Structure 1
Amino acid sequence: MNIPTRQLMKLITLLLTMIFLALLNSSTCKRGDTYTTGSKWRDGAWTRYRITYPDGKIEDVSLSITGKEGSNYEVEISTLGRRYVISIKTPEGGIIERNEPFIGQGQVILKKGGKQAMYVPVVRLEEIFEGYAPYNAFEIPELSMKGYGREMLSLPDGTEIETEHFKHISKGKTLEEIWVSPKVPILGIVKRTLKDGTSIMLVDYGGKGAMKLIEEEVLPYDPTAFEEEKPPEGETTEVIEGKEPEESEVISGGMLYKIIKPKLEEEK
């Protein structure tokens, strides 16, 4: 699968904003019948999702719990072969307020490509990704949702998971659907469809073995560090599975990505 790099950069920022806002709000589902996903947070747990947009674009994103400090868990969110990785510290469930002390102390970390990780204030993070979050595939809305019983869903690899199925119906029309399971770490989401046609599907998950992507010293915030850069014309990112990464490749969330540089005219 090849996607133009400029398009990828917009998708990256969209995804990171969606997930970050989701963790800021809630990772438990709320509806009229009152329920939660029942998912427990444990150090080492991870999930990988595939988001399909109404225009057919597809994107993979990984969420991992890579540590615990007191009552706070360290959650890393990565996409597109580590081009962007975000790390936040949050209590179990991801329900945090903007005035929590650890936010004020800069415990939001952002890493872009091969650059060194950097602390980023929450308000600055939202500015960095401003304009790329028209939808929120992970955030569970405060809607009255009705349960439709248990249902078996199959992951892309054929694994079957028993889920609880819920719908938000208004004026006889289904606006949103969500399938959840306590077996799935972190968000508990197996599948979700939005009224605009966006869908999110669990691809893989595990209770241990999450790979920590940000291990270097974290730099103080520099407002110029994340300014949009224009990639070389024609550069793409190719997803390659089933092989070890080479020098020009990176691995994230179980997916291997190769950065393909455009050929110069004399090389063609």
Structure 2
Amino acid sequence: MTDTPRSHGRKTIRPSLQPRDLMSEEVHLVRAWQAQVITLFPEAFPGVLGLSLTGRALQEGRWQLHAIPLREFGEGKHRNVDDTPAGGGAGMVLRPDVMGRAVETAMQRVAGPVIYLSPRGRPFSQAMARSLATMPGATFICGRFEGLDQRVIDHYDIAEVSVGDFVLTGGEIAAQAIIDATVRLLPGVLGNAASTEEESFSEDLLEHPQYTRPAEWQGRAIPDVLMSGHHGEIARWRRAQAEAITRARRPDLWARHMARTGRAEE
């Protein structure tokens, strides 16, 4: 008896608004988390997502990545995707008719939220990553130029998400960061569930310092408590370190932690 292929019984074909060669039709694995990226630069994917743990999970079919080339939905012979801003101003804006066709195609193929990577969006967080990991998948719109026509955002009720208070030339790097943060939380990707429970932001706290061999380096020794073998003392030390670092570096997180735990400021 031959072994059953890993993907046996999991394939499905999705309809598309774009004509395609039936022999090259994309196959979706039914139980895999689906990430779709609408982008002018599909060659940017998978990028770093194809390496290390996320890359192995991609090969194992725990998740799938589909880059949707926005240029395919462009207008005219030159497949134009942008135009000048209404009301004047510098730069160009992504057209609503072009992006609308791309979004319609994406929504037919994958269930889940549509997210526009935007510096004015809601800050991305570990809680958001955990929420996305429980969904069938998500579609990410990578902006370019001066941004996306607001009517598309309003019409499809698209969520705007930011990865920080800075501006990138496009949304591709931001999309990869969010996908990475989400994929690593999928079952079986990290292999050790405890590692996702103890890391930064799990309790609105930053992670404690980490050490490994050699015991002394450049005149600096590993803290004695970590070499003691006393697990209770080690846990208390790590907790105290995490709280001290969070309080000093991220007062916003510290305030949330204090409110959640019902503790009074000392």
In proportion to residue count, which structure has more helix?
Answer: 2
Whose radius of gyration is greater, 1 or 2? 2
What TM-score, normalized to structure 1?
A: 0.27
Of the two structures, which has the highest relative contact order with CA contacts closer than 8 Å and spacing of 6 or more?
1
